[in-house]
Structure 1
Amino acid sequence: GSTLGIEGVREYRVITNSFSAEYGMTMGSQVMVVTKSGTNTLHGSLFEYFRNSALDARNFFDYKTPTSDRRLPAFTRNQFGGSIGGPIKKDKTFFFGVYEGLRQRFGVTTISNTIGAGCHGPGGAVITNTVCPQLMSVPSVTISPVTAPLLALYPSPNLSNNRFTFPFTQPIQDDYAQGRVDHNFSSADRMFGRYTFSNTTETDPLEYPQFRTERYSRSSFATLSEDHVFSPALLSTFRMSFSRTHPNNPSPSGIIGPQYSFVPGEEIGTLNIGGVTKMGPNVAPTNFRQNIFTWSDDVFYTRGRHSLKFGTLINHYQQYLYTTVNSVGTVTFANLANFLQGATSQYSAQRPGSLRDRTYHFNTIGFYAHDDFRVLPRLTFNLGLRYEFITVPREQHGKEAALRDIVHDAAPTLGPAFENMSLRNFSPRFGFAWDVRGNGKTAVRGGFAELYDIGIHGVSFVIASQATPPFGAFCAVGTPSTLRGLPLEFGECNALRLLDYHMKQPHMLDYNLTLEQQLPWQMGLTLGYAGSRGYHLMQEKEGNPGVPQILQDGRKFFPPLPTTGNPNAFRINPNWGSIDLHTAEGNSWYNAFQLGLNKRLSNRMQFQSSYTFSKLIDETQGQAGADNQVSSIWGVDPFNRRIDRGPADFDLRHNWQFNTIYQVPQPFQSGPLRAMLNGWRASSIFSVQSGYPFTPALRTDRTRSGINTGQPGADALTFGRPNLVPGRTAYDITHGTTAGCGTGTTAIAAGQKLGTPNLWFDPCAFTLQDAGFLGTSGRNYLRGPGYFNLDFSLGKNIPVKQLGENGALEFRGEFFNILNHPNFALNSTARQVFAGTANGEAPLSTAGPLTWTGSARSRQIQFALKLLF
């Protein structure tokens, strides 16, 4: 239902100015939605939006294959619905209802880097690099009987450069309904009740045809609100609400059996091979159900020059989750040669018998007072104070524990996962507005706020429940070994996922200053500065790294890993393996210059233009445990956060947005062409953005620091960075041509143009460091492709007087990405530079090329009809 519901919305606001104390609980922007209500007149609408592939252009990566000569995947999309509202009892009781539906079958082009046909064979077969160039400098290998059945699951390439594509039709069914009843008890007392329901089913492709992710989501929201006017100067709004969200995303494959299963009785797990797109199901299928009971009351009082607001907000959370993260196991190989021989870099799985379900209860409570004080006729101050906190979440059945001293504890302590860090969350707010000349044409606005994020717990609970003894853990072999058979053989199950018991409170200082100037021709200019400073932001980090040696030149050196005795003897706490620690130690710095030019409707035209030049620096971020596929949420050195200080994953340096609406002149005042050619309007949205930063990475843990070894999903997103060749800069790595490097069929050929889909960045700008050392390249040192898009629409309203005063038939033709400009995106495979197994090795052949366009689409055309009555 997240894409639907617009028909029931009367007002929509995104609040980015956080200087009013009535808004809190989060450090980000907030969305305020006011829904439509009934009136004394019966009114409503019916609509249909339609798209299909016959109207669209192909994606840049839509290819014909030997099994399909269709270059443009099939696509149909129908979005339909209607609304109706009116009186139940005139002047007293009103109703309004809306239904919206979406039915879509979207053809998805998936391109994966697979294993060449010459690299396939049964167990015991000898494969040479003559027939299998992906072996690179390895002359020949003998296929392991353990990995031979897994090898057979990889399809042979049907595109050049060992790429494989397959057609997939992504079905989506979405239903949304909302009903609202308003009642006026008197002129001073009114109430409304509203119920909203949505249900969504979706099936998404993964990297190979055998695998998919199914997504189911059902949500219900109920609200009861009363407004009471005590006097012209005093009024109150009381609300109570209930919401239930229930997402579920299973990832079945049906591939099960002793020759495939990494864990007894489970389906096949995830295979990570350097230079090859990962194979396997979704590593984290989760069933999550959340109930939120909310009570709030806001009092508004006006006296003289003061407009006062007071209020409270109470939320009671009930969260149930069942997560099977890494229950099927993950196996990582540095490169194809190692995979064929069964030589792993590491492997892991959730401990069989782990308790996977949790039920948590907790509350968030906030109070505020705010005063909009008109100091002078031309100067207003906004003064506020908010206090908010969270109660310590408790698991209903006592399935919770923590390592309270992560350095020394040999056993967990039963009880809460962390101590309360929110009891000092006082949030001062200050803002001002100054009419400089007193004529309403020049204004200066600004403000400051200290904000807290107390809504960090949903995903954190999921993480903490997966591998916290004694209720669960990850079994891992974090050093190179040879597979002797399947299922996997494990030693101790002591790789953990934890919340930091002594976690600090994430908070942020937010500030801005804006100049607004009214211009002739109904135009307005805005110049502004916006900034923020984040403290104690949520991060994922290695909580139990290896202890390095400090060399005379100051460099850190991690000795070879133990081969006998305790495999964790090199770590800070040798009682445990790798610990995925969710903590609040991050920092961020944001500064932005903002320029806006707006024109109100006059002479048939209105427009809005905004440009932002900004810089966002952080030290990795991982609140959601998510990644944008171009950087790591893990730092490379847990002992030194500064080494990971760099552009944030979502640092958007340049961002220009322009939209306009133009009322087409009406050339005919009478006659038969008037109805056809008059009354048209054209609109467009133009977007230009610079690229997001990314980090070239290694396929294996070259540093031997023990970071993330054995954790689920551990791959090149977390295994560190290579050395940067002296003299190379970020600009010349993505511009000009490459000088080439490597030998044989996998060499990077000299003269290839950089900054293109064929080779976005130069892998030859990097070298593999000696084992045990950190790489010298910086985090998010390079930039990915930018974004350029123009959407255009043409619409017309045709009055239909038979349907009442406001009766009309509205037609729209909408052209998304009308120029069909390809917008490329990086994925994790493209930025993996080295397998990381041997000194002097050549870059992976998959390093640099782009194989997808991310969420950007090719040109799509949509037609819409809407009937208003």
Structure 2
Amino acid sequence: MVNENFLTTRVDHKFSDHDSLFGTYMFDKTPYSAPDGLNNVLFTTLTSRQLVSVEETHMFSPRFANSIRIGGNHEGVNNNESLKAINPDAARTDLGAGGTAFAGRAAAQVFMEGVTPFTGGVGGSPTYFYHWNSIQAYDDAFFTKGTHSLKFGVTAERMLLNVLADTDPNGIWHFGTLQDFLTNNPTKFQGGIASTLSPRNLRQTLFGAYLQDDWRWRPNLTLNLGLRYEMSTVLSETSGKLANLANLPDANPHLGTPFYNNPTLKNFEPRVGFAWDPLTNGRTAVRGGVGMFDVLPLPYQFILLTTQAAPFFSYTAINAGPNLPTPLTFFTVPPEDISDNTLRSTYVQHPKRDYVVQWNLNVQQQLTPSLAAMVAYVGSRGIHQPFRVDEANMVLPTKTSAGYVWPFDRDPSGPPPNGNLGAPLDPLNTNFGSVRAMFYNGHSYYNALETQVAKRMSHGFQLQGTFTWAKSMDTSSATGAGDSFGNSISSLDWFDLKLSRGLSDFNVGRTFVLNGTWEVPSPKSLSGPARWALGGWELGVIFTASDGIPFSPTWGTGSDPANTNSSDDWAFPDRLGGPGCKTLTNPGNVTNYIKTQCFAVPSAPDLAFWNANCNPFPPSIQPSDPTLPPVPAVFPQCFNLRGNAGRNILIGPGLTNLDFSIFKNNYIRSISERFNVQFRAEIFNILNHANFAPPVTPDNTDIFDGTGSPTGVAGLLSRTTTTAREIQFAVKVIF
């Protein structure tokens, strides 16, 4: 259920020919509530926003003007609160994980391969509260002299972000398979210790200055020359509750400020553009430009890195295995759960200057008085972009001729029957369990061909068609926690960025959009009621067709089949060649969209490689009863070898959608010539066409479970990107 209250006002006043003032205020409050998928808990979200702005403009002379603008923005969000139990059992604390840290909490979340996640009891899901305040001031001056039009100014912004992020306060039980769940054999338990949670009050200031000259160099050629400087202070916290690992293997985090070295002090951004009329007839225009744009390290990039950092927040993770004194069973966290507490820390690797270079070139041609065409090339290159991973603390693999191989414990001297043989080695930093990391070595590329043909309104008819052929590639599409896409995978291979380079999560190869409006001619021979009934009609249409977005094949989620010994417990499979595998999807097949026959558990290239490198007893195939011998991996299966399937090599279903509208204009001439009461009927997705989203990650992208057996649900399309047919009626008064 959604309720929204929205208010906006604006006041303009002209004091004299030289001074004018305007002020605006906006208020928006939207509470939203919905049950979880199993109708156990009611989730609520509240978003409120207020914005105020005042601007004064003074004309010193016809050639010189100055505007001063000050404003403030407040946004408050209580996101994903689960305070009310629909099912009374969702509030029972005796169903919680228990133990020292989770006493008094309701049921934990449950994740398992191929099954819809259970969101847990009351208060169990990650919850996010923040209050964002921004105070801004701008001063812009405009000066004209001869063929030069100058614009220059300064800006300052103070950012105040008060945030509280509660992560998995009831905990999460992980099961490798449904059979593991039914036999009470969890693989891991993890959760945030709610008693260690405290708010963070983040502060940062931004300064900027710019100069731009639009120089009419020739009657048919204008040059746009500009330079901007923009910097931000290092992020701080009012109580000094910031922690950072200066280097990933460090035993202790660095506390307080500076949180990182400031990379923004030399952020000068040159920009050049032009507009050219080559035939000097006003019918042909060639435009282009190139510019540098800095991406400042603002608070949104560090929210979770700062709110969930040791020693100010504790997060425990317990892996099942021979090293755990008390068996790990569902509903029971062993008493030693916090003795070797896993602390979630942060790692920001010496930020570099993060910037994007953008360029474009377009040609526009007027074909007739009402018809024009345009063709353009647009490109960009991102450098030193944030590369965020949810888990950097892992066992580092070794690069071999067949790819990266994760090492394993070769000691058979432990408990029978095989000791520690096959177990993963220690991660990079044994002082911390999970380490969220932000690296600044990511990059991105975007290239696009854009075309447009537009017929402006004439004879009651308007039509416009656009086609874009684009390709966006990057090493990571999420720059901060919370802005990842539904098709994203959690943590990427930060130790070798070439492995993570692929299509962007948001890449759409081809897009075609056609929109048109037709003002139906009114019959001139009619009068009175008949003329009113048959006149004033207007039809509209919007047709969209596009390729799908990419996603990645995975396997073994929840069981760490590759022995990375990290909280990101999934792996890439091998991509196979052969007949039928040139393409990897079955368009139109909603139950088997992925060609699972084109993938396999990673395999050794030969027996010698298998004997030297491959783990014969990975934890993912160890039996639940330690007294039984494990089922060994068999040649050529090599669980601890990184598969050759890359990131985002699969393309999801495309989109086709048609929206239709019909308006009835009713002009009331007795009030005024332009007074119009317009009745509107808008039909969205009029053909009721189902546009499916890519398979859910990892539920329906996992091709195999942790034992290497097919999951049976890989490639299932269970979500749509557009709604079913919707009809909306409205009345609009225009005057």
What's the offset of the Cα at 1:462?
3.2
Check if 1:846 corresponds to 2:713: yes
The unaligned stretches of length 5 or more in structure 2 are 603-637
Letter in 2 for 1:587: H
CA gap of 1:689–1:551, structure 2 versus 1, over 3 A, is: closer
Matches for 1:375-414 after TM superposition, within 5 Å = 375-414=217-256
Check if 1:721 corresponds to 2:577: no
- TM-align CA RMSD: 2.3
Letter in 2 for 1:297: D
Check if 1:629 corresponds to 2:495: no
Q: Distance in 1 between matches of 2:37 and 2:410?
A: 33
Name the counterpart of 1:472: 313
2:514 aligned residue (648, 651, 658) = 658
Check if 1:670 corresponds to 2:509: no
What's the offset of the Cα at 1:354?
1.6
What's the offset of the Cα at 1:634?
1.6
Letter in 1 for 2:647: R
CA gap of 1:352–1:797, structure 2 versus 1, over 3 A, is: closer
CA gap of 1:208–1:560, structure 2 versus 1, over 3 A, is: farther
Q: Distance in 2 between matches of 1:788 and 1:552?
A: 44
CA contact (8 A) 1:412 1:469 kept: no
CA contact (8 A) 2:343 2:434 kept: yes
Q: Distance in 2 between matches of 1:411 and 1:650?
A: 35
What's the offset of the Cα at 1:501?
4.9
Name the counterpart of 1:361: 203
Letter in 2 for 1:823: N
Name the counterpart of 1:824: 692
What's the offset of the Cα at 1:487?
4.7
1:651 is paired with a residue of what secondary structure? coil
1:750-777 Cα distance to aligned partner (Å, 9 max, x none):
xxxx641122112222222322111121
Check if 1:795 corresponds to 2:669: no
Matches for 1:54-203 after TM superposition, within 5 Å = 171-203=1-33
Name the counterpart of 1:436: 278
CA gap of 1:844–1:392, structure 2 versus 1, over 3 A, is: same
Name the counterpart of 2:353: 505
Letter in 1 for 2:724: S
Check if 1:527 corresponds to 2:375: yes
Matches for 1:196-595 after TM superposition, within 5 Å = 196-249=26-79, 250-252=81-83, 254=85, 255=90, 256-261=92-97, 263-280=102-119, 283-454=125-296, 456-466=298-308, 468-478=309-319, 480=321, 482-484=327-329, 486-489=331-334, 490=337, 491-520=339-368, 522-541=370-389, 542-551=391-400, 555-560=404-409, 570-595=426-451
Q: Distance in 2 between matches of 1:306 and 1:296?
A: 23
CA contact (8 A) 1:622 1:633 kept: no
Q: Distance in 1 between matches of 2:403 and 2:74?
A: 54
CA gap of 1:615–1:454, structure 2 versus 1, over 3 A, is: same
Task: Count residues with an aligned counterpart.
Answer: 667
Q: Relative contact order, CA 8 A, sep 6+: which one is greater?
A: 1
What's the offset of the Cα at 1:470?
1.4
1:866 is paired with a residue of what secondary structure? strand
Q: Distance in 1 between matches of 2:320 and 2:454?
A: 60
Q: Distance in 2 between matches of 1:730 and 1:186?
A: 74
Q: Distance in 1 between matches of 2:554 and 2:180?
A: 19
Which shifted more, 351-360 or 311-320? Answer: 351-360
Name the counterpart of 2:631: none
Matches for 1:810-821 after TM superposition, within 5 Å = 810-821=678-689
Q: Distance in 2 between matches of 1:325 and 1:677?
A: 61
CA contact (8 A) 1:274 1:835 kept: no
CA contact (8 A) 1:764 1:843 kept: no
1:331 is paired with a residue of what secondary structure? strand
Name the counterpart of 1:134: none
CA gap of 1:198–1:819, structure 2 versus 1, over 3 A, is: same
1:793 is paired with a residue of what secondary structure? strand
Q: Distance in 2 between matches of 1:561 and 1:383?
A: 64
What's the offset of the Cα at 1:706?
2.9
CA gap of 1:453–1:496, structure 2 versus 1, over 3 A, is: same
Normalising by structure 1, what TM-score?
0.74
What's the offset of the Cα at 1:627?
3.2
1:321 is paired with a residue of what secondary structure? strand
1:385 is paired with a residue of what secondary structure? strand
1:23-56 Cα distance to aligned partner (Å, 9 max, x none):
xxxxxxxxxxxxxxxxxxxxxxxxxxxxxxxxxx
CA gap of 1:461–1:554, structure 2 versus 1, over 3 A, is: closer
Q: Distance in 1 between matches of 2:698 and 2:489?
A: 13
Q: Distance in 2 between matches of 1:477 and 1:765?
A: 35
2:395 is paired with a residue of what secondary structure? coil
Check if 1:757 corresponds to 2:590: yes
1:734 is paired with a residue of what secondary structure? coil
CA contact (8 A) 1:538 1:621 kept: no
What's the offset of the Cα at 1:730?
5.9
2:584 is paired with a residue of what secondary structure? helix
CA contact (8 A) 1:763 1:833 kept: no
Matches for 1:762-781 after TM superposition, within 5 Å = 762-769=595-602, 770-781=638-649
1:674 is paired with a residue of what secondary structure? helix
Letter in 2 for 1:767: A
CA contact (8 A) 2:667 2:675 kept: yes
1:721-779 Cα distance to aligned partner (Å, 9 max, x none):
112233367654323xxxxxxxxxxxxxxxxxx64112211222222232211112111
Letter in 1 for 2:572: R
Q: Distance in 2 between matches of 1:245 and 1:815?
A: 33
Q: Distance in 1 between matches of 2:440 and 2:352?
A: 6
CA gap of 1:833–1:462, structure 2 versus 1, over 3 A, is: closer
Q: Distance in 1 between matches of 2:599 and 2:650?
A: 12
Q: Distance in 2 between matches of 1:347 and 1:414?
A: 31
Which shifted more, 515-524 or 623-632? Answer: 623-632
Q: Distance in 2 between matches of 1:234 and 1:823?
A: 54
CA gap of 1:864–1:287, structure 2 versus 1, over 3 A, is: same
Q: Distance in 2 between matches of 1:730 and 1:622?
A: 30
What's the offset of the Cα at 1:569?
5.8
Q: Distance in 2 between matches of 1:560 and 1:795?
A: 72
2:465 aligned residue (598, 606, 609) = 609
Name the counterpart of 2:547: 690
1:562-601 Cα distance to aligned partner (Å, 9 max, x none):
9899x99622223222312123221111111111111111
Letter in 1 for 2:538: R
What's the offset of the Cα at 1:284?
2.1
CA gap of 1:585–1:823, structure 2 versus 1, over 3 A, is: same
Q: Distance in 2 between matches of 1:243 and 1:815?
A: 35
1:660-686 Cα distance to aligned partner (Å, 9 max, x none):
111111123432311111121111111
Q: Distance in 1 between matches of 2:369 and 2:589?
A: 43
Letter in 1 for 2:131: R
Letter in 1 for 2:701: Q
Over the matched positions of the two proteins, sequence identity in percent amounts to 29
Q: Distance in 2 between matches of 1:664 and 1:272?
A: 57
Q: Distance in 1 between matches of 2:520 and 2:107?
A: 60
Check if 1:701 corresponds to 2:560: yes
Letter in 2 for 1:628: F
Q: Distance in 1 between matches of 2:511 and 2:455?
A: 20
Letter in 1 for 2:27: F
Letter in 2 for 1:536: H
